[in-house]
Amino acid sequence: MCAPGDNKGWTTRLFVLVFLAGQSVYSIAQTGFCGGNLGDNIFTAGDFGSGSQTVVQMDPGLAPGFQYTTSVPPDDGEYVLTNNINAWSFVYPTWLRIGDNDVDPKGYMMVVNASFAPGIFYEQIIDDLCENTVYEFTADVINLIRKNTTGHILPNVSFLIDDVVSYSSGPIPQDEFWHTYGFTFTTGPGQSSVKLTLKNNAPGGTGNDLALDNISFNACGPNSSVSIEPAGRICENSLYPLLTAHIDADTGVLQWQVIVEGGQFWTDIPGATERTHQIQQLAAGTYYFRYLYSNTISSIDNPKCRIVSDAILVEIVPVEFIIRDTLCEGMTVELGGIEYGETGIYQQLFTASNGCDSLVTLDLVVFPDPPIIADFETRPTSCEGADDGSVFLASISGTRPPFIFIINDSIIPAPNTLIHVPAGTYTARIENEYGCFDEEVVIVEDGPPLDIKTNEDTTIVLGHSILLTTQSNLPVSSATWTPVTGVGCPVCLSTYVTPLNDQTYVIEAMTEDGCTDTDSITIRVDRTPVLYVPNVFSPNGDQVNDYFSVTTDPLNIASIDEVLIFDRWGGIIAHSASLMSDESVILWDGETPHGQALTGIYVYLITFTMADGSTRNVHGDVTLLR
């Protein structure tokens, strides 16, 4: 819609140049949501639909910048449509286990593993728009990383108009809540088409995982409400009230509509185009009235160019109607401020606010109260904090199905007689068709806390590995070691680790029901080189101590890089390099470029590389005997 009046609450304007039909026009984008009423969502599939399959098997082709997958969880650069992450056979331990952002338990959402370079999540071209009209573009986004998880990049979503960034969500917090992001913009003169895009704006790396839902694109207009005079219930065949449209705009066109409660479609009221509308005579029932509003007569019939007012309820009660009810003995029903508890026919005359009377007849049947005896039992949760405890009906006498099973005033759908609940105190009730009941207060105990233990703190030699094992008092469905540096299997309960420096490793384990516990181990690394250098050798061919050799730990010493042998005057008489590290490494056989070295004392310098890549050296003297 044309922006009405000033733009209070809109703090920034972005001018985006787009090109249509060979001429330049300007779309004006404004941060913040629509300040008035919205039209119908032009993105009819923006909630991704719903279905019984946990994962949509057919590629929907929604995200040009990502690859669709049916293998969950998605890998970097992939996305999937799903209605329940918790139903996956495996979930990354750092991810939330959620359904979509809707009351429909089968509704789908788009789950994106966006760790690669920026890419397009969603893109759609909208035609048949109206010029000089305000539109709102929004989406619901959630950061999939569980709060208190460190070292993960926050997602950041850009909203684009015709490939130009017009709004960015900024870093999406790691708080386990859905957030709605979006903005408004105004189409330029002659503009009837626009391309709308959602794009990943965060850098690559660990994290940047999110879910999208409820992508919406609506016309935006002034505040539009309805009042009624006189208010209150209306009796059938009375004088019907007057509806008045209240619009924060002096100009524009409207069309009144009506729908009966439970109906599927709003219907235009012929000729009802003024700001006041006299309701015509209607049959008894409950109705809702509203109006469509747009700038011009030509755009009122275009769903993409109009807004919808608030709706108002109008209840028309019949002049005469009958209520038939059945009660259990000892219970009462209220009619006109009077309580009735015996079988009989009762009448009350009601006066509506406009002076029209209605006659109500109550046909009441009271049944004897049978001795209903219900025995309820409970089972504790599998672990502390889980929600898989249960309350169930073990036996019942005094009635038979159909009866109603109620827990804390919530009806459990038949034929279920068991419900899974967290630990707590509950009121369990069985009620027959006449309202006769038996109830009991039951307690669901909490299960034991998950308790995991790994190795005690220890010290290892640089280059060596140690097996970390984990014991648990409960079955564990997933585990994560942090940090992952030097860890052979970061998601295994038991794994070898090879730290190069002193390191504390933390394991977090989780049961299938979401109970978690952590434990840690600190491993100190002894960085002393494991290298033994002898002080004498005798290269006389008797095959006993014929070589100047060193004994090493191949896991600790990666390589012998260079060996220099010096005579008493500092001259180099032997040199070797790039020797493979082994338990025993020959450094010198007693030969020089000029023949055999004479008996005497020689100085050596040995340079070697440790398992962590650091370079060390050792020097000393060795005695040669013939």
Tens digits of residue pLDDT in 598-625: 999 999 999 999 999 999 999 999 999 9
Q: What is the distance in angstroms between the CA of the first residue and the CA of the last residue of the chain?
A: 105
Q: What is the helix (H) or strand (E) element at residue 299, kind and residue range?
A: helix 297-300
Its CATH architecture, for the domain 13-219, is Sandwich (2.60)
Q: Which CATH number fits domain 531-624: 2.60.40.1220, 1.10.10.1400, 2.160.20.10, 1.10.132.20?
A: 2.60.40.1220
Domain covering 224-317 in this structure, CATH number: 2.60.40.10
The two domains 13-219 and 452-526 share their CATH topology (first three levels equal): no
Structure tokens at 576: 């070797």
Q: Which pLDDT does position 353 carry in this prediction? A: 55
* pLDDT tens, residue by residue, 551-582: 999 999 999 999 999 998 999 999 999 888 78
The confidence band for 46, taking pLDDT boundaries of 50, 70 and 90, is confident
- Specify the pLDDT at position 355: 55
For the stretch 169-180, pLDDT in tens is 999 999 999 999
Of 374, 384, 378, which Cα lies nearest the Cα of 425?
378
User: Tokens 């990383």, residue?
Assistant: 145
Please compute the mean of the pLDDT values over residues 33-37 and round it to a whole number.
Answer: 92
Mean pLDDT of 86-104: 92
With a pLDDT cut of 90, the percent of the chain lying above it is: 69
User: Regarding predicted confidence, which is higher, 263 or 13?
Assistant: 263
> Which pLDDT belongs to residue 414?
84
Q: State the pLDDT at residue 583.
A: 84
Higher pLDDT, 62 or 357: 62
The pLDDT value given to residue 470: 95
Task: Indicate the length of the chain as a whole number.
Answer: 626
Name the residue ranges covered by the structural domains of the chain: 13-219, 224-317, 320-367, 373-444, 452-526, 531-624
Q: Which of 65-69, 163-167, 313-317, 440-444 has the highest mean pLDDT?
A: 440-444
CB atoms within 10 A of CB 16: 18
Burial of 445 (C-beta count, 10 Å sphere; 0-12/13-18/19+): exposed
Superfamily of domain 452-526: Immunoglobulins (2.60.40.10)
Q: How far is residue 549's CA from residue 539's CA, in Å, rounded to a whole number? A: 11
Task: Summarize pLDDT for 409-433 with one digit per residue, the tens.
Answer: 899 988 889 999 999 999 999 998 8
Tokens of 626: 């013939």
Q: What is the pTM of this model?
A: 0.52
The alpha carbon of residue 506 and the mean position of all alpha carbons in its chain are separated, in whole angstroms, by 25
Residue-wise pLDDT for 193-218, tens only, equals 999 999 988 876 788 999 999 999 99
CATH class of 373-444: mainly beta
Average pLDDT for 20-45: 66
pLDDT tens digits, 503-544: 999 999 999 888 999 999 999 999 999 999 999 999 998 889
Predicted confidence at residue 13, as pLDDT, reads 28
- Residues facing residue 160 across a β-bridge: 165, 197
Name the pLDDT band for 12 (thresholds 50, 70, 90). Answer: very low
pLDDT the model gives residue 467: 96
Q: What confidence score (pLDDT) does residue 17 get?
A: 27
Buried b (16+ CB within 10 A) or exposed e, 127-145: eebbbbbbbbbbbbbbbbb
Q: How confident is the model at residue 273 (pLDDT cuts 50, 70, 90)?
A: very high
Average pLDDT, the chain: 88
- Per-residue confidence at 337, pLDDT binned at 50, 70, 90? confident
CA–CA dist 520, 452 (Å, integer): 10
Whole-number pLDDT of residue 6: 33
CB-based burial label for 111 (10 Å; 0-12, 13-18, 19+): buried
Give the model's pLDDT for residue 354: 52
Phi, psi (rounded to 5 degrees) for 490: -65, -15
Q: Is the confidence at residue 22, as pLDDT, over 50?
A: no
